[in-house]
């Protein structure tokens, strides 16, 4: 059962189940440990300019230089694993990169594999959010999540997404159904309490207080009870793109924190993106800027400005997950979350899926963070195999890859 089912449909015996065995000589209660609990993936389009993206230094002695694409991540160096030299195992150019970025040539994307493994009891096994991915319809250029060879359409309207997630919150009938299970079962819990010894009573009290904390996080206070609807009137308007991106990232964090889903993807536009980043004074579309040669210094700088803004969106996601608290543990969500910032191309001007720039974060996968790691041509199927194994999956490979996990990540 997930937390929501436990709180809505539980009874005193279920609530106190971990302590029933305390009435016997030994306890059979066990809890899985050391496995990632959540996955968050952020996508930004159109590759990069390698020499403007690459950090200075190497290994643990690296930094994000002033003026570089990753400058907005300054101060997070010790919390990230920045990958250099990673090639895709299959796919090339815009469409091939987009189609194979999370599938590695297979029929299902890594987010869906993990959702099938950990998301069955959640209200949403996975949640796909996006910004301005509807205008060109559904195709290999505009979609990154797949099941059975078919794409999954992300929700690029934050108000619609918010309504799906939290629209019923505040409804009187719903709140009545969500009356505290702990209060409803108080007589039974008191009777059980009397049957336990002092040490066991203290353990039960601690357990029930933990459940009370979960209840408060889901129904009794904070963002889960009173989420604020995004203020985006026209999500398809080019100039609303920053507001849509902010809202979708915040909803992603909120959904993970409230236990609505354990897997969330946020897709900021799509490959060949026409978005014009006017909020950083760009005057041409992002895709057009991504192909400017070094001699066109004005367009190159505009592209860097846009890419720095995307880097800032990754920072927003990271900071949101670091600030949000897991109601079950009292620790930051990052402690049990795997975070990926992915792209579909390496050097955008060459249209290649070589040296594709990915940034990994979160403490849930066992990554050895605080490094700029040159993986020297290792393929991305090995990275995603490692991620899958962090969730307890026994995959030896992913997609069309056959090489196993990239152990150097940990």
**What mean pLDDT comes out for the span 349-374?**
96
* pLDDT tens by residue, 151-177: 999 999 999 999 999 987 644 444 444
The residue with greater pLDDT, 239 or 220, is 239
Cα–Cα distance for residue pair 316/360, rounded to 1 Å: 14
**What mean pLDDT comes out for the span 68-85?**
98
In the prediction, which pLDDT does 87 show?
A: 98
The residue with greater pLDDT, 6 or 315, is 315
Of all residues in the chain, the percent with pLDDT exceeding 90 is: 73
**What mean pLDDT comes out for the span 68-82?**
98
**What mean pLDDT comes out for the span 366-377?**
97
**What mean pLDDT comes out for the span 137-163?**
96
Which residues are within 8 A (CB) of 190 and not within 5 positions of it... i.e. 6 or more apart? Answer: none
**What mean pLDDT comes out for the span 64-85?**
98
In the prediction, which pLDDT does 267 show?
A: 98
46-55, 64-73, 396-405: the lowest-pLDDT one: 396-405
* pLDDT tens by residue, 18-51: 544 444 333 222 233 238 999 999 999 999 999 9
In the prediction, which pLDDT does 294 show?
A: 92
Question: What strands, in cross-sheet order, belong to the sheet with 38-43?
Answer: 127-131, 263-268, 38-43, 337-342, 358-361, 80-84, 371-374
SS3 assignment, position 93: helix
How many CB atoms are closer than 10 A to CB 373? 22
CA 121 centroid distance within chain = 18
Task: List the Cα angle 118/130/374 in 5-degree steps.
Answer: 70
pLDDT over 70 (residue 286)? yes
- Average per-residue pLDDT in the chain? 87
Which residues are within 8 A (CB) of 260 and not within 5 positions of it... i.e. 6 or more apart? Answer: 122, 123, 124, 127, 165, 254
Judge residue 387's burial from the number of C-beta atoms within 10 Å of its C-beta, 0-12 exposed, 13-18 middle, 19 or more buried.
Answer: buried
**What mean pLDDT comes out for the span 125-147?**
97
* pLDDT tens by residue, 102-112: 999 999 999 99
In the prediction, which pLDDT does 149 show?
A: 84
**What mean pLDDT comes out for the span 173-182?**
50
pTM for the whole structure: 0.81
- Say if strands 371-374 and 127-131 run parallel, antiparallel, or are unpaired: unpaired
Which residues are within 8 A (CB) of 172 and not within 5 positions of it... i.e. 6 or more apart? Answer: none
């Amino acid at each position: 059962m997930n937390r929501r089912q436990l709180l809505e449909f539980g009874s005193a015996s279920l609530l106190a189940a971990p302590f029933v065995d305390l009435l016997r000589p030994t306890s059979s209660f066990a809890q899985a440990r050391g496995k990632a609990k959540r996955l968050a993936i952020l996508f930004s389009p159109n590759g990069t300019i390698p020499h403007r993206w690459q950090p200075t230094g190497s290994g643990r002695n690296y930094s994000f230089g002033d003026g570089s694409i990753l400058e907005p991540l300054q101060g997070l160096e010790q919390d990230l694993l920045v990958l250099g030299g990673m090639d895709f195992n299959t796919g090339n150019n815009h469409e091939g990169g987009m189609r194979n970025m999370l599938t590695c040539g297979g029929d299902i994307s890594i987010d869906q594999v993990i959702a099938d493994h950990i998301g069955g009891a959640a209200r949403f096994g996975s949640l796909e959010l996006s910004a301005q991915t509807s205008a060109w319809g559904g195709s290999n250029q505009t979609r990154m999540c797949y099941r059975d060879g078919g794409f999954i359409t992300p929700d690029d309207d934050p108000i619609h997404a918010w309504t799906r997630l939290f629209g019923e919150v505040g409804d009187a009938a719903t709140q009545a159904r969500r009356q505290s299970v702990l209060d409803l079962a108080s007589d039974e819990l008191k009777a059980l309490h009397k049957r336990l010894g002092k040490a066991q009573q203290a353990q039960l009290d601690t357990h029930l207080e933990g459940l009370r904390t979960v209840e408060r996080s889901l129904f009794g206070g904070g963002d889960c009870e009173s989420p604020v609807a995004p203020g985006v009137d026209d999500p398809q308007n080019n100039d609303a793109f920053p507001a849509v991106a902010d809202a979708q990232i915040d909803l992603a964090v909120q959904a993970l924190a409230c236990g609505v889903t354990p897997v969330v993807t946020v897709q900021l536009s799509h490959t060949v993106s026409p978005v014009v980043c006017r909020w950083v004074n760009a005057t041409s579309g992002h895709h057009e800027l991504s192909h400017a040669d070094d001699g066109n210094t004005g367009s190159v700088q505009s592209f860097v400005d846009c890419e720095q803004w995307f880097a800032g969106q990754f920072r927003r996601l990271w900071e949101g997950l670091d600030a949000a608290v897991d109601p079950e543990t009292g620790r930051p969500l990052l402690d049990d979350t795997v975070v990926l910032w992915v792209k579909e191309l390496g050097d955008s001007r060459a249209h290649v899926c070589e040296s594709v720039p990915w940034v990994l974060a979160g403490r849930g996968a066992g990554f050895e963070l605080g490094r700029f790691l040159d993986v020297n041509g290792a393929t991305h199927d090995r990275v995603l195999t490692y991620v899958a194994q962090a969730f307890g999956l026994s995959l030896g490979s992913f997609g069309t890859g056959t090489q196993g996990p990239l152990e150097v990540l940990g």
